[in-house]
Structure 1
């Protein structure tokens, strides 16, 4: 077993290449470096094939661009009930007829893949672990804090409180990113309206705090020669209100869901459930902020990405949470309509600070806030 000093040297050597996991694959490796080996009990690679869960697919046609004069109240109520059921149980759902054209989705994925597959020399100027940079390319944001590295690289671009100047965005993504984020921002507002109604609140309640699209993470998961030894991304929940994910056809995203016995009454062990690729759909999941604000009604569940021998997997995650001065003072507190608060209040800044210090490993950010 390598010593801590040997492992640190290996991590620094990997990071200093600025080539990421893609660079390792390009060398033609047939075995993966030990820094990527995950302890097997932690990892439980394969999804449970015996479960009876499906990730809901929700048609948003009745909400996108609709008005009270074009949408029957019964249609709206049915849509709110469907979204409510999804976020109260699985915490994940997919949406179709969401207002983002398939051509835009395809162009966004192609642009990110194009960036990640450029030469090391072309990507190196963007490689950074400085969180103050609005555009940064890196492999594993918590590389030096996690027990094991994961099999992916990321291009992160901030979109708030002001849009990133076009000249700072890599040329491959410069045209499509503003258009894609504009459309996802619109989708986010629609989703937050539906979620507000699902909490029994007026339609605009959550938008004030949650409608800011803070940033976009473009992940690239190359094919892995030993996928049984590592993970694409470790199990985690998201430090935001909502995450909207675009993924290509490779798949690999999984959700940890509480199990149920055949009579649907007695809980069993949690199981990993695959999030299938649905053509034209976007994946939506509840974040920790929304679980806290909903007083635990909406579920921010753990999810991960498994490494695969095929690839690359390309995905785009958009995170909804305030950015800038608003995060330093804005207090998150549970909305209690009956019963008692399940969480103590906290600031958004405190939750983000804890997340950055913790990384992806360990328990949910909300555990230390439970009452």
Structure 2
């Protein structure tokens, strides 16, 4: 058998395996419920893309930590200036920070995490009616949005709910487990997002309303409720592959399991150009990261950095990501362009509609490369 024939057969068999998995409409949780003790081949990632501690190479510990910013300081002018400075430093370097005293009550965050877990742990037949790969549906449940595009599947299931710019979906469209708390949590997260946009505008030397009003960064919100079942062979797969986010900002609520890591520039002169740093669970905190769209609009001043979630033998891990980006009819007409400050030497990206940016991201899948490369001048 020729090499070409062998490769074609392998591709065909992989496609059949992916389709068979998708047809169950039960996700990774369905595999776990069936008692799998080995990770199926469609979830196997190349060894060089797996965490260092999943390979024979020694793991190097780095002292870098993700900043934690207390928003309680916003009540005074001096405190606000300090918060703006901290946000600027984080957005310009690592692109990630955590916020406390953010205005979302603990009862709401804990209720949101519990609701996500309840939905994903319902019987498969209760989840199946929501299973869909149709991005036109405002509420959809699926395992791996890029299942048929990515080089390897991730050990994760998700529920996506488009909360804005239109009114939230009708209650009967949302799974019962999420029906009450998801709209409440999304509204509070959106309020926080508006506050953060004001801080980031000031961090760029602009008036507080610039990103919200002139750059129109507040049109949409997609809520993604992720469930990462305990993995029998975490050394073979990933919870989420290395990627950056198709958003202006992402606000993440995570439980105490851990596993989120950020790729940061290494300043320790030990031969590594960049290193993976854990984003630990901080009591009462929400994680905030710059997305691709804000990096484009800020003309590379703010950094949309790559991050991942490692697979874990413990769990399940539950998280809720709020992706703030333009949706609906505006996505095909809203053109994002860099804000060019004096001395920057011109725009670093071509203008592009949000629809074009998102279409490229979905077609590319989570392949470990930045979607922004396609739009750089």
TM-score when normalising by structure 2: 0.93
Give yes or no for contact 1:45–1:306 (8 Å, CA) kept in 2: no
Tell me the distance in 2 between the aligned counterparts of 1:62 and 1:146: 43
Deviation readout 1:223-270 (Å, 9 max, x if unpaired): 0000000000000001110000001110100001111126xxx99411
Report how far residue 207 of structure 1 moved.
Answer: 1.1
Report how far residue 211 of structure 1 moved.
Answer: 2.1
- Could you list the runs of 4 or more consecutive aligned residues of structure 1 that deviate by over 4 angstroms after TM superposition? none
Report how far residue 213 of structure 1 moved.
Answer: 4.0
**Partner SS for 2:225:** strand
Where do residues 61-140 of structure 1 align in structure 2 (5 Å cutoff)?
A: 61-63=72-74, 71-140=75-144
Tell me the distance in 1 between the aligned counterparts of 2:194 and 2:53: 35
- Bigger shift: residues 118-127 or 323-332: 323-332
The equivalent of 2:218 in structure 1 is 211
The equivalent of 1:9 in structure 2 is 16
Matched, 1:221 2:225: no
**Unaligned runs of at least 5 residues, structure 2:** 1-5
Give yes or no for contact 1:260–1:267 (8 Å, CA) kept in 2: no
**Partner SS for 1:260:** coil
Report how far residue 97 of structure 1 moved.
Answer: 0.2
Of 189, 195, 199, 1:194 maps to 199
The equivalent of 2:331 in structure 1 is 327
Deviation readout 1:73-103 (Å, 9 max, x if unpaired): 2211111000000011110000000000011
The equivalent of 1:363 in structure 2 is 369
The equivalent of 1:240 in structure 2 is 247
Where do residues 157-306 of structure 1 align in structure 2 (5 Å cutoff)?
A: 157-162=161-166, 163-208=168-213, 209-261=216-268, 268-306=272-310
Q: How much is the aligned-residue C-alpha RMSD, in angstroms?
A: 1.5
Report how far residue 147 of structure 1 moved.
Answer: 1.0
- Bigger shift: residues 354-363 or 103-112: 354-363
Of 337, 348, 358, 1:352 maps to 358
Report how far residue 164 of structure 1 moved.
Answer: 1.0
Report how far residue 125 of structure 1 moved.
Answer: 0.4
Matched, 1:315 2:319: yes
Give yes or no for contact 1:331–1:347 (8 Å, CA) kept in 2: yes
Report how far residue 61 of structure 1 moved.
Answer: 1.3
The equivalent of 1:155 in structure 2 is 159
Tell me the distance in 1 between the aligned counterparts of 2:154 and 2:288: 23
Tell me the distance in 2 between the aligned counterparts of 1:12 and 1:283: 34
**Unaligned runs of at least 5 residues, structure 1:** 64-70
Tell me the distance in 1 between the aligned counterparts of 2:238 and 2:128: 24
Report how far residue 41 of structure 1 moved.
Answer: 1.1
Give yes or no for contact 2:51–2:310 (8 Å, CA) kept in 1: no
Give yes or no for contact 1:92–1:284 (8 Å, CA) kept in 2: yes
